[in-house]
Amino acid sequence: MAVNQSQLGQMFEQVLRLSNVDATQSVAILKSHYSDARTVQAATDAALRLGAKVYSVELPAFNHPTAMGNDMTAYCGDTALTGNIAAQRALEAADLIVDTMMLLHSPEQEQILKTGTRILLAVEPPEVLARMLPCEEDKSRVLAAAAVLEKARMMTVTSQAGSDFRAPLGQYPTVTEYGFADEPGRWDHWPSGFLFTWPNEDQAEGVLVLEVGDILLPFKSYARERITLEIEKGFVTQIHGGFEAEYLRDYMRYFNDPEVYGISHIGWGLQPRAQWTAMGLHDKNDGMCMDARAFYGNFLFSTGPNTEVGGKRKTPCHMDIALRRCDIKVDDLLVVAEGEVVAPEASRAR
Ligand SMILES: O=c1ccc(O)c[nH]1
Ligand SMILES: [Fe+2]
């Protein structure tokens, strides 16, 4: 199926309105040659219809010679903006940036946000954007869960498959993603609908078992056999299993950087319109597969960089791994039971 340009424009108008775009605002459309032209046009037209002053910043694409695949989340840190001070100043001048080229996990993104500029990332295919069009209810559900997570001192994750993981919390903030950038200095991602934080440095411990069907990004693969990760002092120390484990080990070893094994953001999915099955219906180059990150009741954990919250790991290798059917506890509150969101009540989809 395909979204027509008029529908896409109307959706952007709704999301930019939720992002507080109006005639008092300036909106920068950040793009590169690989941006989706339909998205760039729809964002531009919608911002103009809302009365904003609109401009584009086009950056020549950046490729790191060791990066593999086309998923922009695979290789983090350096981007087309790195070192381009003039372009960064032009972007910092905006009230809102619609990012259609991907600054995520870059130090420059944090520098821009610190000036009060808002950033909305939109790089998924228009049809995925349409299926997960953000609404106020997404925000209220995610914020209800964040109210619990930001006070927590411990996250524990267990599962029938054998996961038994503990992450002391408190050193790092809670991050929410609900699909629109409505507060000064806020970054958000359309589509999304989940929340996360980071374990205290060097303190995550235990075992995470990827069961058949769990998702590995940026591989965009469903695990077809179990992979067992042993975690000690915040780092993955062993990766056990068959072919899938060997593939993961080989991929991470390729970066020749011990920091790739650090545990990065950890949290859970709250988007009922995201589907575990969706990745199987898309080509690997269609987008970054936000369905996998956001599907309702997942446990999403990641490895690698944590610079975006002032952490010391600026490693380029970033794995996002989504597990089904876990029990997730935040301090003593069970928030997800075998992959079903159970608390807080206000975070549950109607
Ligand atoms: O929305 C996102 C996308 C990727 C990621 O690593 C975090 N959040
Ligand atoms: Fe991630």
- List the chain pLDDT tens, one digit each, 350 residues: 999 999 999 999 999 999 999 999 999 999 999 999 999 999 999 999 999 999 999 999 999 999 999 999 999 889 999 999 999 999 999 999 999 999 988 889 999 999 999 999 999 999 999 999 999 999 999 999 999 999 999 999 999 999 999 999 999 999 999 999 999 999 999 999 999 999 999 999 999 999 999 999 999 999 999 999 999 999 999 999 999 999 999 999 999 999 999 999 999 999 999 999 999 999 999 999 999 999 999 999 999 998 888 888 889 999 999 999 999 999 999 999 999 999 999 999 98
Give the DSSP per-residue string, 91-145: HHT-SEEEESS--TT-HHHHHHHHTT-EEEE--S-HHHHHHT---HHHHHHHHHH
Contact 1, 131 (CB under 8 A): no
The continuous run of DSSP H or E covering 238 comes out as strand 235-241
**Which ligand does the CA of 288 lie closest to?**
1
Binding site membership of 159 for ligand 1 (Cβ less than 6 Å): no
The 299-303 sheet, strands edge to edge: 175-177, 194-197, 263-269, 299-303, 319-323, 215-217, 221-222
**Which ligand does the CA of 321 lie closest to?**
2
Binding site membership of 320 for ligand 1 (Cβ less than 6 Å): yes
Phi-psi region of 121 (alpha: psi -120 to 50; beta: other; left: phi over 0): beta
ipTM: 0.95
Contact 198, 306 (CB under 8 A): yes
User: How far, in Å, CA of 77 to CA of 144, rounded?
Assistant: 31
Q: Specify the ligand 1 atom closest to the Cα of 121.
A: 1
Quick count: other Cβ atoms within 10 Å of Cβ 166? 16
Quote the pLDDT of residue 107: 87
Question: What is the pTM assigned to this prediction?
Answer: 0.97
Ligand 1: residue whose CA is nearest its atom 1? 189
**Which ligand does the CA of 177 lie closest to?**
1
User: Ligand 2 centroid to 74 CA: how many Å?
Assistant: 9
Binding site membership of 189 for ligand 1 (Cβ less than 6 Å): yes
Domains of the chain, first to last: 5-123 (3.40.50.2300), 133-347 (no CATH)
Find where tokens 């003593």 sit: 332
Contact 325, 214 (CB under 8 A): no
User: How far, in Å, CA of 184 to CA of 19, rounded?
Assistant: 10
Find where tokens 């597990």 sit: 323
Residue count of the chain, please give it: 350
Binding site membership of 73 for ligand 1 (Cβ less than 6 Å): yes
The residue to mutate among 177, 186, 300, having the most atoms of ligand 1 within 8 angstroms of its beta carbon, is 177
